[in-house]
Structure 1
Amino acid sequence: MIFHRFNVALLSFFILAVLVAAPAQAGSHEKGPVKDAIVLAAFGTSYPEALKSILNIRSKVEKAYPGVPVKLAFTSSIIRDIWHERQNDTAWQKENTGVPADILGVKGPLATIADLQDEGYKSIAVQSLHVFAGEEFSDLTQTMIGLRSIRALKAKSTPFKSLRLGRPALGMPGDVYPYTEDIAIAAKALKADVDAAKKMNAALVYMGHGNDFYSTGIYAEFQNAMQKAYNHPVFVACVEGYPSYDDMLETLKASGSKKVLLKPFMIVAGDHASNDMAGDEDDAWKVMLTKAGFDVTIDLTGLGCIDSWADIYVQHLKDATAQTHMLP
């Protein structure tokens, strides 16, 4: 049984590598140019002001791919439901002007891809806007694998010519784009955060989302990369999973720092950043750190608003669309 599970896991990683690196080929009888489209798949946010992080990334992708439609998809069904309820809430819309119409009707990746295919787009690249290859990216991967497996009796009727998937910011398993190199690039992208903390003579503390049942050890690897790159106290902890707030607090105290610059290590500064991190409840990180004796400064800037971080997704999308061969 253990051997069987190992083989299943190994097969899943192999399929994932093929999915990221190679197109889903349609028949040779295809006539006319193949229409391209891009889908940006984010967890999403229900906070209108936090949308700017996602919209900043979309703007950069649109500039990199002029003339190619770029659609947004939210992987969280809970977030999608909230926006759908607001579609018919005229009072809410009057109080929250400036929200793009496509956000109110935002769909999941599967429905978004299906809509594009129905409109004649057969070459579709999906770029994950997740931080690391965790639960949400795993589910997105399985969706893409399922779509790529579709075949038709007539080759020309195969729904897709190419389906690509771009990796998250901190990379994914595989040797084509080693995730350790992606971590190093991500650390370089956040140099301005370290510079700001240094000016304040403060430790830099990031709150990540994490996951209770999916390994989040990559946060610890990213923390180590930041500390080595900048020789400054930088700490990353999660709302869920490892490293926890308590893990972070222990090492923060050992650093000797008295001040803290607290920022979200999330694409958007939404609910978790506003409440779990910067809220006024007793279990908010700002409150707990203050009670622990630290002078805390809050910066509610989502990663997507940082241009150097947003550029990572543009590059990963380019990497995905540039691959023309099957991996070994």
Structure 2
Amino acid sequence: MQKKGLLVVSFGTSHLNTLEKTIVKIEEKLSETFPGYVLYRAFTSKMIIRILKERDGMEIFTVAQALKQMAEDGISEVIVQPTHILHGVENDRMIEDIRTKAQEFVSIKVGNPLLSSTEDYRKAVEEVAEEMDTGSAEKALIFMGHGTSHYTNSSYAALEYVFRDKGYEHVYVGTVEAYPSLETILPRLKAKGYKGVCLAPFMVVSGDHAANDMAGEEDSWKEMLLQEGFEVECILKGLGEYKGIQEIFAEHAKAAIRL
């Protein structure tokens, strides 16, 4: 009888409160979806792995380490499900690590990140819109994405387009490290005459970027918008907290098995 394992791969977070609310909840959803599989966790950020070990005594595997452990534990059939938003740099590195270990297993299936098909965008938009106030003529909702140098960065512009296509005309999507930035969104906000803005992360976890770059007291989106005369509200809720988003990851893992 083949022993089955489920490896959930996340970028990671050093914020333990959001770890429990987001990554752990996605892992629990996946475990519930695959009850016969042994659950393993890996982070792709070695910096976060180091912080958690030095500060909290937590041992988190890299992808290569997790797969090595799974092989040693006698796992022969593997599902790998990333909690990444895009097929970006972190996902590419994960896939490369999987390739180096694939020969150690009878089968290894890899699920897609959150935004991988047109239907994924539509589902993600609807799930988020169901739980968030999507704005009004008085108040815009701006999501902060991470942004990437990878070509998949265009996904953020596509995401805003889908919000518009679904009728959410007061929702904007920017990134903290790429295009579109808040500076590119500001003229559009002013042209629309909004008085207020709500900021929320379009990231699996509400971690450093949300707490500091989005809602911090210095050099943050919140401060920039306040200086421009907007009333600002911040919602520190990662996508991993949304049950509908957890479900999309579970569906991607199920789809990987069928390939």
Provide the TM-score with structure 2 as the length reference.
0.94
Match among 104, 107, 112 for residue 162 of structure 1: 107
**1:162 is aligned with what amino acid?**
S
- State the partner residue of 2:139: 202
Other structure's SS at 2:209 match: helix
- Give the paired residue count: 258
Other structure's SS at 2:194 match: coil
Other structure's SS at 2:146 match: strand
- The 5 A counterparts of 1:210-229 are 210-212=147-149, 214-229=151-166
- The 5 A counterparts of 1:12-51 are 33-51=1-19
- State the partner residue of 2:52: 83
Counterparts in 2 of 1:294 and 1:193: CA distance versus 1, 3 Å: farther
Match among 100, 105, 127 for residue 189 of structure 1: 127
Cα-to-partner distance string for 1:163-213 (whole Å, 9 max, x where unaligned): 111110001xxxxxxx2222112112112255x234795211001111245
Match among 71, 93, 97 for residue 117 of structure 1: 71
Match among 307, 311, 328 for residue 243 of structure 2: 307
Match among 242, 250, 253 for residue 317 of structure 1: 253
- The 5 A counterparts of 1:1-12 are none
Match among 51, 54, 65 for residue 34 of structure 2: 65
- State the partner residue of 1:273: 210
- State the partner residue of 1:284: 220
- State the partner residue of 1:236: 173
CA contact (8 A) 1:57 1:310 kept: yes
Cα-to-partner distance string for 1:222-249 (whole Å, 9 max, x where unaligned): 0110122033211111111111121122
Cα-to-partner distance string for 1:63-83 (whole Å, 9 max, x where unaligned): 111232111111000000011
Same amino acid, percent of matched pairs: 34
- Quote the Cα distance in structure 2 between the aligned partners of 1:302 and 1:256: 28
1:144 and 2:144 are equivalent in the alignment: no
**1:55 is aligned with what amino acid?**
V
Runs of 4+ in 1 over 6 A off after TM superposition: none
Unpaired runs of 5+ residues, structure 1, are: 1-32, 89-103, 151-158, 172-178, 324-328
CA radius of gyration, larger in? 1
- Quote the Cα distance in structure 1 between the aligned partners of 2:237 and 2:74: 38
Match among 298, 304, 310 for residue 234 of structure 2: 298
- Quote the Cα distance in structure 2 between the aligned partners of 1:43 and 1:260: 28
**1:80 is aligned with what amino acid?**
I
Match among 24, 43, 59 for residue 105 of structure 1: 59
Match among 56, 59, 72 for residue 25 of structure 2: 56
- State the partner residue of 1:16: none
Question: Which shows bigger deviation, 246-255 or 49-58?
Answer: 246-255
Counterparts in 2 of 1:109 and 1:199: CA distance versus 1, 3 Å: same
Provide the TM-score with structure 1 as the length reference.
0.75
Counterparts in 2 of 1:193 and 1:243: CA distance versus 1, 3 Å: farther
- State the partner residue of 1:180: 118
Cα-to-partner distance string for 1:263-292 (whole Å, 9 max, x where unaligned): 0010001011000100000x1001101111
